[in-house]
């Protein structure tokens, strides 16, 4: 039987790696991709030791040829990509006067354009098979542009619009497209070091735990097509809307 593959583009140390682990536990062969693929070695080794099938790739998702090659290699050498998660962030705080053209464009490339490349390439394979799931990670900035985040908010708004359009186009072709809004702080190294009152907030379960968050992605993958979710808001019980 052909292996069913979960491809996570943007398999960082927190959310991305947690999603990789959850899909491996779900029984899929997992392919984790990030710009510096060597940082995935320990994750892949741990999964292999637990009896899971896992592969690591270096890929700059802003580069069309890199994304095209990534999908081609996986489809040729590993199995059919059945679910794709686009999880690249680029959450960079920049005041509008400090946002030069280069910075704005780079943030857009990472958080929006790379999502387009990943989603389009996934659709090329999935439409041929008549099935598949494409999941995009959003943020508070997907729906609300905060002060000091003009570049990031514009990119995340764009990613959400891309996901909406793809969902309407690909849904009738049996391809589930969903967008996950993470409207809260996530337990990452950066948040632990920079978020005031982090310890107290985590103690009362006011910070998103990556492993718990990742379960939502598997849930979306497993949804029956008569009850698909397009957009899922995730936030702790204490988070303000």
Q: What DSSP letter does each residue of 148-192 carry, written as one string?
A: TBHHHHHHHHHHHHHHHHHHHHHGGGTEEEEEEEE-S-B--HHHH
Query: Residues 6 or more apart from 74 whose CB is under 8 A from it?
Result: 5, 7, 31, 55, 81
HSE-CB for 109 with a 13 A CA cutoff: 11
Q: What is the CATH number of domain 4-234?
A: 3.40.50.720
Chain segment 133-168, per-residue pLDDT in tens = 999 999 999 999 999 999 999 999 999 999 999 999
Q: Parse the chain into domains and list their residue ranges.
A: 4-234
The mean pLDDT of the chain is: 95
Can you give the pTM of this predicted structure? 0.95
Chain segment 2-60, per-residue pLDDT in tens = 789 999 999 999 999 999 999 999 999 999 999 999 999 999 999 999 999 999 999 99
Q: How confident is the model at residue 91 (pLDDT cuts 50, 70, 90)?
A: confident
Is 218 within 8 Å of 232 (Cβ atoms)?
Answer: no
Q: Residue 87 gets which letter from DSSP?
A: -
Residue 1 confidence (pLDDT) above 80: no
């Amino acid at each position: 039987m052909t292996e069913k593959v979960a491809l996570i583009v943007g398999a960082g140390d927190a959310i991305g790696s947690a999603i990789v682990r959850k899909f491996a536990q779900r029984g899929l062969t997992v392919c984790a991709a990030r710009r510096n693929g060597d940082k995935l070695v320990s994750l892949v080794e741990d999964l292999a030791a637990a009896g899971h099938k896992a592969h690591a790739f270096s890929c700059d998702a802003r580069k069309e040829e890199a994304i095209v090659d990534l999908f081609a290699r996986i489809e040729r050498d590993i199995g059919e990509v059945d679910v794709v998660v686009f999880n690249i962030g680029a959450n960079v705080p920049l005041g509008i006067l400090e946002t030069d053209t280069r910075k704005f464009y780079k943030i857009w490339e990472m958080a929006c354009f790379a999502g387009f490349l990943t989603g389009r390439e996934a659709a090329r394979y999935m439409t041929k098979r008549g099935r598949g799931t494409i999941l995009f990670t959003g943020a508070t900035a997907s729906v609300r542009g905060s002060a000091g985040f003009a570049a990031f908010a514009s990119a995340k708004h764009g990613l959400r619009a891309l996901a909406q359009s793809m969902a309407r186009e690909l849904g009738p072709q049996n391809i589930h497209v969903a967008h996950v809004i993470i409207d809260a702080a996530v337990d990452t190294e950066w948040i632990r070091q920079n978020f005031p009152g982090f310890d107290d907030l985590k103690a009362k379960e006011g910070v998103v735990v990556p492993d718990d968050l990742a379960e939502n992605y598997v849930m979306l993958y497993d949804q029956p097509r008569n009850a698909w979710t397009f957009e899922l808001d995730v936030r702790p019980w204490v988070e303000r809307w």
